Structure 1
Amino acid sequence: MPAQPETRGDAVTRSTTSALDVRHDAFTIERHVDAAPEEVFAAFADDATRRRWFRLPGARGSDHHEFRVGGGADATSTFALPGIAPERLAYHSHYLDIVPDRRIVFSYTSTVDDVPRWASLATVLFAADGAGCLLTWTEQVAFLTRTGDGSDDFPHLRGGTALRLNGLAAVLQPDR
């Protein structure tokens, strides 16, 4: 039986014996956005627009984005709550496939305090849906290091992605 990651409070540490203890999952979120597929796609591609909706929690640190196949994004932030040590968050992505106004495929990793938490492959599709766009986000994830028993990791990731897409819709539909 693989060893569990060692925990100290809410912090997670990796041990070499936990290297085989990876959990896999997948999810799909569909969203209707009241904007044309070209506008929704542009919100991923345009740096200024992307920064308005694609954020890590906490105080923004660095944020570099290169929207092209072979490019990617690197972002950091510091997340702090009263009475808890601040966490250093990092996001690193790599664009694998981009079809303008139709599809984006990318891989990414998320780390907390320099500990890799998960790695994902995400596919985002943009399709005409009446006067708007049906955005379909599908993600396959490998959880590399658990928080506690790991039971909250998947709901946390899926919920965070849904919130991020709410931010996208708010940027594109400011009157709602």
Structure 2
Amino acid sequence: MTDRSAVHDTFRIERHFDAAPARVFRAFADPQAKALWFHGPADMKREEDTFDFREGGRETQVSVLPDGTRFGFFVTYVDIVPDERIVYTYEMSMNGQRISVSVATVEVRSSASGGTDFAVTEQGVYLDGLDTVAQRRQGTEDLMDNLAKSLAS
């Protein structure tokens, strides 16, 4: 029998990007721009990929590691304010089992010094010891590093 648990936690990551807010927002809203930075390790193969960026729209990604471990990312966009804010809910699965459910808020603001002040806040519930806030925060930090590189190119 599986030990059941639900651990709740919140984290916030703030960054400054030397790019206009519209460009940072587009990196989330445009599927080609998002593909440049929103991905896992190079050896992870994407099996399924859908993208419907609008309030009520859904995004789905299913990816597989070389060892056969399958990860699912299932998003519903809840609130979109162009060039300012994105709020979405998402669940993650591993080999078909739900490992977490989260609400994420992306905030994009013009910086007084130029460029964009950016923040992502995630409120999550991590299920049955299969995912942790530390793992999710590190994965999000890695994605933000990817985003910074894509905006710099």
- Which TM-score applies when normalising by structure 1? 0.81
In structure 1, stretches of 5+ residues that fail to align are 1-5, 7-14
1:42-53 to structure 2, matched below 5 A, reads 42-53=26-37
The structure that has the greater radius of gyration is: 1
Task: Find the aligned partners of 1:70 and 1:55 in 2 and give their Cα distance.
Answer: 23
**Which 4+ residue blocks in structure 1 deviate beyond 4 angstroms?**
none
Q: Deviations over 1:86-106 (max 9, x none)?
A: 201110000000000000000
Q: Deviations over 1:2-54 (max 9, x none)?
A: xxxx6xxxxxxxx3x62xx2100000000101101111001111110111111
In structure 2, stretches of 5+ residues that fail to align are none
Task: Find the aligned partners of 2:101 and 2:19 in 1 and give their Cα distance.
Answer: 30
Task: Find the aligned partners of 1:109 and 1:103 in 2 and give their Cα distance.
Answer: 20
Residue in structure 2 matched with residue 59 of structure 1 by the alignment: 45
- Which TM-score applies when normalising by structure 2? 0.93
- Are positions 1:144 and 2:116 aligned together? no
The answer to whether the 8 Å contact 1:116/1:145 transfers is no
1:6-155 to structure 2, matched below 5 A, reads 15=2, 18=4, 21-57=5-41, 58-80=44-66, 85-129=67-111, 130-147=113-130, 153-155=132-134
Task: Find the aligned partners of 1:73 and 1:64 in 2 and give their Cα distance.
Answer: 5
- The one-letter amino acid of 1:77's match is S
- The one-letter amino acid of 1:34's match is D
Structure number with the bigger relative contact order (C-alpha 8 A, sep ≥ 6) is: 2
* 1:32 counterpart SS class: strand
